[in-house]
Structure 1
Amino acid sequence: MFFVLLLSPWGTSAQDAGRETDKQPPRLEVPACTASDNRTTGLATTDLVLAVRDAGRELLLLDGSTLAVLGRCQLPHALEGTPVRSPQGRYVYAAAAGGWVLRLDLQHFGQALGTRTGLALSGLVLSADGRWLLAGHAQPHSLVLLDAQLNVVRSYRTSALTGGADSAVSGVWLAQARRSFVVAFDTLPELWELSYDPAAEPIHDGLVHDYRMGEAIATAGFLGVRRTPLSQPLRVVLTDAPLRHLLAIAAPGPPGQDARSGTELEIINLDIRRRITTRTLTGYPMAGAGVVFTSGTRPWLALPTGPEGRVVLIETRGWTLHPETLVALRGVDAVRSHPATPQLWLHATEATPSDTLVLVDKDDWRVIATLREPDRRWLPVSFAAGGRQAVLATQTEIRLLDTRTLRELRRVALAQVEVVFALDGPAPDALQK
């Protein structure tokens, strides 16, 4: 295998807020992937399961229905985070070590494109239309907007409107219904929203009621920064389904601080750009470990809260805390689900006698199944076929389960698996675009 490395200046444009740039950072184009049957096309419409091995440097592409190995990719930089597939199914985008953003082409199979947007990525998100990617960085402190060909379009300095010290980015999210990206920071007491809607309303920095009176100076809403001021920097732990609301907490205190006294959970509304209420939780909720789901007709959040593994339930219409925890099981560190899946999948890594998956019915919250593999650990579950199937894996095998019946559909032995991701093929309407 050989590498073609195309270098171009990577200067200080990432330090200039909202600045369009003609300078392009280092890029690479490599023949990274080979097909198992010598095919060169045909995976763009296929449901896929990605199995990661070799410390994130090797991807196995498995057929989403049969788990047959269709190809493998040897990545130039180790994978970080969750890959995302373009709406038309052709490309897979992924964050990689060293600040690289990678793109695999599933139509012209074999090529990988890469752009280095920083030194250390803290998040990467793809717009719902597949036209834009936003990369957030721990180093340097910046946001970088790219097009689908991984060209840098704009960079943003992550500081307050009045200047001052910039901040590392703690996370980026896609608000699909809003056609925007949402950004949180380590030390900057703000949330940002960047709209990729060309018809986005102008931005009026300052209080909301000021611009309704025509007192504020507007800036362009398209790809501009809409700021939500906070009383302190917050860590976002979960969002509701339309991403109108974010649930956030203050950074944890020093080691040894007793979290049992309560953690204040702030609920922030992005429409009015302020906190609307708070709730006090026992324990410290874990970022990215919860899930949004519907029980009956009501929207709920399930949120694990720290070492004791309690799962808190919050009804989001009135932000009401349910008085009972979901299950009496220690060590729950993640809850996963899918809108088309009838269960919540609770992963308890500290359970005894072994690593445990507990399946809870969404409607009546009763435990309907408990899955254990002696002397093995479950990898994070993912969902395929529009939620009709669960991809369940250990380090030595991958299984497909029907989420309605929990019947095992397929099982394949595969050594040294580190994590698996299900990437469904495009919807029929996406293929026509």
Structure 2
Amino acid sequence: MLGKTIVATVLAGASGALCAMTAEDLQRADGLYQANCAVCHSASRGGYVGPPLHKDRLVQSEAALRGTIMTGIADTLMPPFHSRMSDADIRLVAQFIKTQPVASPAWTMQQVRDSLEILIDEATLPSKPTYQIDSVYDLMAVMARGRYGRGTGRDNAKVVFLNGKTNQVVGEVVTPVAPHIMDFSPADPRWAWLKSDDGYVYKIDLYSLKITRKIRTGLTGPGIALSNDGRWLAASSFVPNLVVILKADTLEPVKYLRLEGKDPDGKFIQSAGGPVIGSRINNKFALTLRQAGQIWIIDPDREGMPVAKLEKVGRMLHDTFLTPDGRYSMVASYDDNKVVAIDLKEDKVVRDIPAGCQPHVGSGAVTPVGQRMLAFGTNIGECDKGNVVTVWDTRDFSVVKNIPVAGPTESPAAHPDAPYVAVDIVSKDKRASQIQLIDKQSLEVVRTLDAGGHAFFPEYTRDGKYLYVSAGYYGDRLRIYDSKTLALVAEHKMESPAGIFSRARTQWITVGLPPTRKH
């Protein structure tokens, strides 16, 4: 279905360049692309965790593209394909992405409904964890992407679960395509929901570590969030531009919205669905429309699930996290170099906070420092402001400091019982192996860890005793450090580890706070 949709789109927009490829060539090339490339570059070829691959964005010759596909790109997620595809197929894919425009594949509400699969009768599940752990809130979930987004082996794309007290692996959940993000029920300890890079949502039982249901809510995009009462789930997509609201327990889709509207310049556009977050003062969802610069606030408890649309929020919106009271969503605006505070009680913009270069903020990190609750916002770009981590007070949104760091940063991590705020350096050189540690009292970088590989996504365990780091790309290790001494205490091999998610996140409201829910 997907391949035919994209081929139809390409044929509909045919130009002179199309003559070099027959309809049969196009269909085969698209199939090869979807099987090998879409997981990183998106189903539309418009870009995702990898750059766009279409005629309007590529400047390389077809010969150069063939070489890149064959050999890969060192120190990135781009692997060599010379042993995975034949020379003829590599030539066909290179011609396809060099000559064809970006596609617009569809995924309708009916296709969402039809994709729902029930894999396990939940009545047969165990009443407590089947592995050794004091509490499922000690679980740490690591997204292992696999080398090709599917792994070089059969089971290499998976979620690996560890006991955060013992740092031992307790189980794993295998997914056909790279897992990206996990969210947890704020109401029931046993449930988690996983989104993979091909748009599937998986409902996971944390007692048995098994997938009970799955559904495809789109074709590309990681956005997912649970409502405060655990009844509703929102899933947004880059491709197509949509958000689906589902019943969290059954994964039955109940609301489908196309994401489009006027951007800050007044141009009507279709927009990728960025991160979505669930309020903790009510049951609302706040959805980011990346290119449109809008925030849509959806109320699933009111008839018809009405949407409040906040326009002209910023340019190229991305990550978001909640303030300690759960009322304000902190939204990163890439092209404006600011973070925007959104009031989820009154559905309005309340403040622009100056940030560094292309703020990213990741999952956010807010932690008590003296009498203040300080937010630490990472900045993934480089500009004349230099490489900094932006710190602000979450009570009045005043900027406290811009802390110089070694390079662009993506994901901060904090814990009230750990002395450091950890940030990952995501430059494209040897600095990418570094995790820098900011002392919470002095607000200065005081230590640097070399984790090997490309070190990403630091996350503290529930009790704050350990810091987990994904040393991906060529590191292929999860590395675990003592949070105070920074001594390496354990490591586990896995293929391209990425995001790390503590089950305790729903106890904190946002990362770095004391528990607000007791379990």
**TM-score > 0.5, shorter chain as reference:** yes
Task: Give 1:182 deviation, angstroms.
Answer: 0.5
1:153 is displaced (CA, Å) by 2.3
Deviates more, 1:70-79 or 1:280-289: 280-289
Alpha-carbon contact 1:289-1:333 (below 8 Å) kept: no
Residue of structure 2 in register with 1:151 after alignment: 252
Q: Partner of 2:310 in structure 1?
A: 228
Counterpart for residue 423 of structure 1: 502
Does residue 49 of structure 1 match 2:131?
Answer: no
Structure 2 residue 246 is the aligned partner of structure 1 residue 169: no
Matched, 1:293 2:382: no
The alpha-carbon distance between structure 1 residues 430 and 296, as it changes in their structure 2 partners (threshold 3 A), is: closer
Work out the CA distance in 2 between the residues paired with 1:98 and 1:413: 26
Structure 1 residue 294, shift from structure 2 partner: 2.8
- 2:424 paired with 1:342: no
Q: Determine the C-alpha separation between the residues in 2 that align with 1:251 and 1:327.
A: 19
Deviation for aligned residue 1:26: 0.9
- Aligned-pair distance for 1:341? 3.3
How far apart in 1 are the matches of 2:216 and 2:391?
40
Aligned: 1:183 with 2:287: yes
The reply to whether residue 91 of structure 1 matches residue 195 of structure 2 is no
Distance 1:372 1:234 in 2: 32
Q: 1:106, CA displacement in angstroms?
A: 3.3
CA contact under 8 A between 2:338 and 2:356: conserved in structure 1? no
Q: 1:14-72 CA distances to partner (integer Å, 9 max, x unpaired)?
A: 89xxxxxxx823123458xxxxxxx9935794433334252362233333332333333
| Aligned residues: CA RMSD | 3.9
* Identity between Structure 1 and Structure 2 (%): 20
Task: Confirm or deny that 1:27 pairs with 2:116.
Answer: yes
| TM-score normalised by the chain length of structure 1 | 0.71
CA drift at 1:244: 3.5
Alpha-carbon shift at residue 353 of structure 1 (Å): 6.6
Q: Which position in structure 1 is the counterpart of 2:46?
A: none
CA gap of 1:141–1:178, structure 2 versus 1, over 3 A, is same
Cα distance change on mapping 1:184 and 1:125 into 2, 3 Å: same
Distance 2:435 2:161 in 1: 25
Pairing partner for 1:390 from 454, 467, 485: 467
Task: Note if 1:304 corresponds to 2:378.
Answer: yes
Structure whose residues are more often strand by fraction: 1
Equivalence map 1:21-420=2 (5 Å): 24-30=113-119, 41-42=130-131, 45-46=135-136, 47-51=138-142, 52-54=144-146, 55=149, 57-80=157-180, 82-87=181-186, 88-147=188-247, 148-159=249-260, 166-188=270-292, 190-196=294-300, 198=301, 220=302, 223-230=305-312, 235-241=317-323, 242-248=325-331, 252=335, 263=337, 266-281=340-355, 283-286=357-360, 288=362, 291-305=365-379, 306-307=381-382, 308-322=386-400, 324-350=401-427, 355-373=433-451, 376-394=453-471, 395-404=475-484, 406=486, 410-419=489-498
Contact residue 302 and residue 313 of structure 1 kept, 8 A: yes
The corresponding residue for 1:20 is none
**Higher RCO (Cα < 8 Å, 6 or more apart):** 1
Code of the residue aligned with 1:343 in structure 2: it is Y
Cα separation, 2, equivalents of 1:73 and 1:301 = 33
245 and 91 in structure 1: CA distance in 2 versus 1, 3 angstrom threshold? closer
Residue identity matched to 2:378? P
AA paired with 2:423?
L
Q: Which amino acid aligns with 1:309?
A: N
CA deviations over 1:189-215 (Å, ceiling 9, x no partner): 53222234x4xxxxxxxxxxxxxxxxx
Question: Structure 2: which amino acid aligns with 1:26?
Answer: S
User: How far does the alpha carbon of each residue in 1:153-180 deviate from its partner, in whole angstroms, 9 at most, with x for none?
Assistant: 222343469xx86533122112223332
**Shift in CA distance, 191/328, structure 1 to aligned 2, threshold 3 Å:** closer
For residues 425 and 516 of structure 2, what CA distance do their matches in structure 1 show? 39
Q: Cα offset for 1:109?
A: 4.9
- Cα distance, 1:282 vs. partner? 5.3
2:18 corresponds to: none
Is contact 1:181-1:194 (8 Å) kept?
A: yes
- Give 1:144 shift: 0.9
Q: Compute the displacement of 1:101 (Å).
A: 0.7
Q: Distance in 2 between the 1:282 and 1:379 partners?
A: 19
State the shift of 1:240 in Å: 4.5
Shift of 1:232: 6.1
CA contact (8 A) 1:235 1:287 kept: no
CA apart distance, 1:181: 1.2
Write the deviation string for residues 299-357 of structure 1: whole angstroms up to 9, x where unpaired.
Answer: 323233322422222233333233x5323533444432234433211222448677222
Contact preservation (8 Å) 1:383, 1:422: no
Q: Is the 8 A contact 1:132 1:145 kept in 2?
A: yes
Q: Distance in 2 between matches of 1:127 and 1:295?
A: 29
For residue 24 of structure 1, give the secondary structure of its aligned residue in structure 2.
Answer: helix
Offset, 1:397:
4.0
Q: Secondary structure at the match of 2:456?
A: coil
Q: CA deviation at 1:413?
A: 4.0
Aligned to 1:146, what secondary structure does the other structure show?
strand
Query: Compared with structure 1, are the counterparts of its residues 250 and 97 closer, same or farther at alpha carbon in structure 2 (3 Å cutoff)?
Result: closer
For residues 398-418 of structure 1, the C-alpha deviation after alignment (integer angstroms, 9 at most, x for no partner) is 44444355455x414424352
Q: Could you tell me which amino acid in structure 2 is paired with residue 75 of structure 1? A: T
- Letter of the 1:297 partner, please give it: Q
Q: 1:285 to 1:293 in 2, by over 3 A?
A: same
CA distance in 1, matches of 2:349, 2:501: 35
